[in-house]
A = this chain, B = another copy of it.
Amino acid sequence: MAVGNVELVKLLPIKGIKIGIAEAHVRYPNRKDLTVFALCEGATTAVVTTQNQFCAAPVQLLRQHLQHASPRYLLVNTGNANAATGEDGKHRALATCEALASLTNTTAAQILPYSTGVIGETLPSERIITGLPKALANLDEDNWLAAAHSIMTTDTVPKGHSEQVTIEGVTYTVTGISKGAGMIRPNMATMLGFVATDAAIAPDVLQTMLRDSVAMSFNRITVDGDTSTNDCCTLIATGKADTAMIDSTTHPHYAAVYQAIASVMLRIAQLIVRDGEGASKFITVQVIGGNTSDDCAKVAYAVAHSPLVKTAFFASDPNWGRILAAVGYAGVDLDQSTVNVSLDDVRICERGGLADGYTEDQGAAVMSRPEITIHIDLGQGQASDTVYTCDLSYEYVKINADYRS
């Protein structure tokens, strides 16, 4: 079901990070649903979290913990989001952190909790606590692919990527995994993303890298426009590449390491769209010629969220008027006569009307492709922005009408 190339490269281990996995029967039996990341001493960690006001209990707790200690463990469960669960939800999230702390001789504040799954149900914290020793028993540097599997919910494929970059004789490795297929319109981060590098990076620099790379990856994808209660993206730098700390954005290694991180972020964010619920097409919406990048993003999101545009792509119908209608209601002042639109290399709209020489056959041919870029030129200025999305199919309705049953 996932669209196009969703093959994973070999996920490279990151020195200083071990991952353990267990079956804790959070929602279903016989499913790997508990994942523990153990970080080496000295690792730096940055996290961006959802802007949803109904953010889940673990998200609230994670924010507190980040203020008080340097993380040593990440504790992730699937099957239950522990969201809209009130005070009880916070107590249960804390109980799982305390249990892991006592097993590992750390403090609860050194544990970051993450939950994903159904909203509004009580977290079975006892079963998670029971599963922790099993997860700790198989901690291994080479468990990234297994972790990509164990954090899946409605995902149909595991999502991960690795890159290496060598600069001045030092080779840095970056590996990341993500999960998410529905309730996807990240707002600071996607459902769950974990990215790590063996570079040594100062905390404030790491936060900058995370913010910038998320802005152009997880914050530029949308499946259904629903921002999750549990979105978190975490970036860890272990420092095990044994070189000097990258302590500013002008450090000679900054650009290369940032590029590798951004590349991994973009790949694992796009994989979420490729695996979007019911997706049969991967659509890039590229808007140029705007007065501001914010205007371009508004237009791109209006197009990417329009159910009429998305169903037309599902049907491979070059019903480009729906694209223009969405451009028109994006909330951006525009002059119809300066707007041009192409699908891949086929110009369909010129100066707000039908392009000279355009034929329905050309449109139908490009719409039948599994990967399509919508180019929209507003003809106003120099700004641009790009958003990634998928089509809207029967399957989307089926998955979300059936999810809890």
Contact = CB atoms under 8 A, between A and B. Distances in A.
Interface string A226-258: 111100000000000000000000000000000
Interface in A321-360: 321-322, 324-330, 332-334, 336-337, 349, 351-354
Contacts of A121: 321, 354
Nearest to A354: B120
A349 to B, nearest CB: 7
In which size bucket is the chain A interface?
35 or more
Interface in A293-335: 305-308, 311-312, 314-315, 317, 319-322, 324-330, 332-334
Contacts of A312: 400-401
B84 A349 contact: yes
Contacts of A405: 315, 317
A54 B86 contact: no
A117 to B, nearest CB: 10
Nearest to A228: B325
Given A183-B308, A226-B329, A84 B120 contact: no
Contact of A326 (B226, B317, B333, B397): B226
Interface in A179-201: 182-183, 185, 187
Contacts of A54: 324-325, 327-329, 336, 352
Contacts of A324: 54, 83-84, 119-120, 229
Contacts of A349: 84, 120
Given A84-B324, A394-B398, A397-B392, A319 B403 contact: yes
A329 B52 contact: yes
A118 interface: yes
A314 to B, nearest CB: 5
Contact of A328 (B55, B326, B354): B55
A335 to B, nearest CB: 8
A271 to B, nearest CB: 21
Given A84-B324, A321-B84, A329-B226, A401 B314 contact: yes
Nearest to A325: B229
Nearest to A348: B120
B226 A325 contact: yes
B401 A317 contact: yes
